[in-house]
Structure 1
Amino acid sequence: MATLADDIEVLAPSPRTLSGLAFALLSAASFGMSGALARGLLHEGWTPGAVSVVRIALAALVIAPFGLTALRGRWHLLAAQWRTLLAFGIVAVAAPQFFYFSAVAHMEVAPALLIEFIAPAAVVVWLWLRHGERPGRLTLAGALTAALGLVLVLDLFSGAGLSLTGVLWALGAMVGCATYFVMSGDHSGGLPPIVLAAAGLLVAALTMAVLGVTGLVEMAASDASVDLAGATVAWWVPIVLLGVFTAALSYASGIAAIRRLGSRLASFVALAEVLFGVLWAWALLDELPRAVQVAGGALILAGVVAVKLGERTTATATGRPDA
């Protein structure tokens, strides 16, 4: 009977889980546009550092009022968590963005994404080693299924060239991405998700600005027009989309999703970003997804479902509440 009850719970997830999945998909959809938008700017003379700092700064300006409203004058929360906020802004926000754009400048978007999205596996290993949350067979099967889906969606069998420099940048982005999921899932500081997002973006913007002013990160921009969705648009159009849609909206919704789903499940749902990236490439660059990519998307979804079922099994066995 207990198994039947668990099955019913899986088929009828809680409102918290449903809202978490909605936030996670919104975050994945918005994050997925960043590669196509940034590639156009990089081709017109922008450096990865310049794209990153402008994107992050604009996102911080957009989300700051909402963060202040949610904080409600509880400044002691920021004071008590300043070390966490510094680490989150630098390692989980600034680093993965800069590293990913640097990778894209040296290699194709598809393999860069594949390397970055090793992050969910890194999250599973971290939770296992740090918190003793050993993944079950169903979770591992889901991870392998989702990984196979990624390979199919990215269509790497056609033979994509790899740059060692690009691979190293992408691995750095993977570490930052995994850190983002782990730190965002920590409730202990009492910071509302929107406050964590706003503070993290502000710290990241200041970090990138300091690196740019000191010359440690190259900063160069261009006012040349950019090709987008079959039309030529002003440079500020992709910049605004990068800052508002692919940063402010994606970080706010992503952290809200992680708080509801937990780091492990949210990181696997985020694999949908690759699928959305293919769809955005279709819409903005007129690149139609192939049948093998559609099959890969189905495998990603199947893997996410398996990970969720595995999480419930682990929660039942250990007696801890399920995310």
Structure 2
Amino acid sequence: MPSTASQPAATAVGSTTVDLRTGLPIALVSAAAFGLAGPLAGTMLVTGWSPAAVVAGRVGGAFLVLLIPCLFLLRRTGLPSGRQTRRMIAYGIVAVAGGQLCYFNAVQHLSVGVALLLEYLAPVLLIGWLWLRRGQRPSATKLVGAALSLAGLALVLDLTGEVRISLVGVAWGLSAALCLCGYFLMSERTTAAPPPLLMTTVGTGVGAVLLLLAGAIGIVPLTTASAPALFAGHPVPWWVPMLALALVSAALAYISGIEAVRRLGSSIASFVALSEVILAVVFAAILLGQIPTPVQVVGGILILTGIAVVQTPPGTLVGPRSTRRRLDHGRR
């Protein structure tokens, strides 16, 4: 998107300034970090770890890693306000723990691909929320991009073959989608928005405690193992993929994800986050030797096309020097 040489490319979308030049790379870093979680966790699941134990270790490890930097931040900025504290706790409950617990319950009743497809309806749900709640009517280009992205997602998840579906599982899957919506909405920049480092530290700490409590009372199984994991075909101690999960797929993923939402807005950031599925397939091919099928490649192309279409302005107002474009967001 055109811009002046000294300023980042930005457009005004409603009350949100969209900075594609810096926001898009950060969003892709976050998507790559989240996408690495599945293949890394896969190396541990085959040794006997339960999914909930892996996630609890991942977010709990991130909390421990970020705790000292967070304390230095608080020493400089002071304690958060009451509104910020409530927002961070809600973030940990909904975005970190809630989404994981809903997804775990969904896969008990649904095929994994179906559960993921339901969870990744979040960008579409966000379009409806922003329209009803904030009056941000979606453009035709955004709707087309959403349709392309969802079609590509279905292909990448490869829903062919035997598919398990139940009403209970669908309810859990949609609940996971709502939690994902909460992740994007609570990451937005507002007057009560804590710094990304602080929000991630508190959120992962709250999420880890809730996941461990859920395991203790039997909502999800918590099983660990000490056997070596196969990392890119080589046996490594179990703590190597766990450390990568904590540092990359939790700490880096959440911090960069929050920053991306604040630069792109929740709607655009949610569609860019769909690239996580593509990157997860790529990482699975590298780490686990799971080569994507031609159908998955086509699906990935559709997702990327949809993301590009979503970011296309429905109309432009060209300034005197033709260096800026603003979305014609319609008149209310």
| Paired residues of 1:226 and 1:235 also in contact (CA < 8 A) | yes
Match of 1:302 in 2: 305
**One-letter amino acid of the counterpart of residue 96, structure 1:** G
The answer on 1:317 being equivalent to 2:329 is yes
CA distance in 1, matches of 2:75, 2:330: 37
Match of 2:24 among 2, 21, 25: 21
SS of 2:230 mapped into structure 1: strand
Deviations 1:115-170 (A, max 9, x none): 221111111111112212121111111100111111222232x3253254665543
Instruction: Rate the CA distance shift 1:234–1:106 in 2: closer, same or farther, 3 A.
Output: farther
- Quote how far apart the aligned CAs of 1:104 are: 5.4
Cα distance in structure 1, aligned partners of 2:43 and 2:108: 11
Q: Which amino acid aligns with 1:135?
A: P
Query: Which SS does the other structure have where 1:227 is aligned?
Result: strand
Residue 82 of structure 1 pairs with residue 85 of structure 2: yes
Whose helix proportion is higher, 1 or 2?
Answer: 1
Aligned position for 2:60: 57
Alignment TM-score, normalising by the size of structure 1: 0.85
Match of 2:208 among 205, 210, 214: 205
Q: Whole-Å Cα distance in 2 between the matches of residues 172 and 46 of structure 1?
A: 25
- Aligned AA (1:133): Q
CA contact under 8 A between 2:184 and 2:270: conserved in structure 1? Answer: yes
Unaligned segments of structure 2, at least 5 residues: 11-18, 317-325
Q: Name the residue aligned to 2:163.
A: 161
CA deviation after TM superposition for structure 1 residue 108, in Å = 5.4
Gaps (5+ residues) in structure 1? 1-6
The AA in structure 1 aligned to 2:34 is F
Find the partner of 2:277 among 274, 278, 293.
274
Letter in 1 for 2:120: F
Structure 1 residue identity aligned to 2:39: A
Separation of aligned partners in 1, 2:77 and 2:35: 34
**1:65/1:316 CA distance change after superposition, 3 Å:** farther
What number of residue pairs does the alignment pair up? 312
For 2:164, the aligned partner's letter is L
Matched, 1:180 2:183: yes
Q: Please say which of residues 50-59 and 76-85 is displaced more in the overlay.
A: 76-85
Q: Paired residue for 1:3?
A: none
Shift of 1:56: 0.8
Is 1:119 matched with 2:131?
A: no
Match of 1:286 among 269, 286, 289: 289
Aligned 8 A contact 1:113 1:274 in 2:
no
Percent identity (aligned): 42
Q: Is the 8 A contact 2:31 2:274 kept in 1?
A: yes
Q: CA deviation at 1:72?
A: 4.5
Q: C-alpha separation between the residues in 2 aligned to 1:142 and 1:71?
A: 41
Deviation digits for residues 16-71 of structure 1, max 9, x if unmatched? Answer: 42211111101111111222222343343323332222111101122233333444
CA distance in 1, matches of 2:101, 2:154: 24
For 1:8 and 1:145, the matched residues in 2 are separated by 25
Instruction: Provide the C-alpha distance between the structure 2 equivalents of 1:136 and 1:119, rounded to a whole number of angstroms.
Output: 18
Residue type of the partner of 1:148?
Answer: A
Which one-letter code corresponds to 1:277 in the other structure?
A: A
Structure 1 residue identity aligned to 2:9 = S
3-state SS in 1 of match to 2:192: coil
Letter matched to residue 238 of structure 1: P
**1:196 maps to which of 196, 199, 204:** 199
User: C-alpha distance in 2, partners of 1:111/1:249?
Assistant: 27
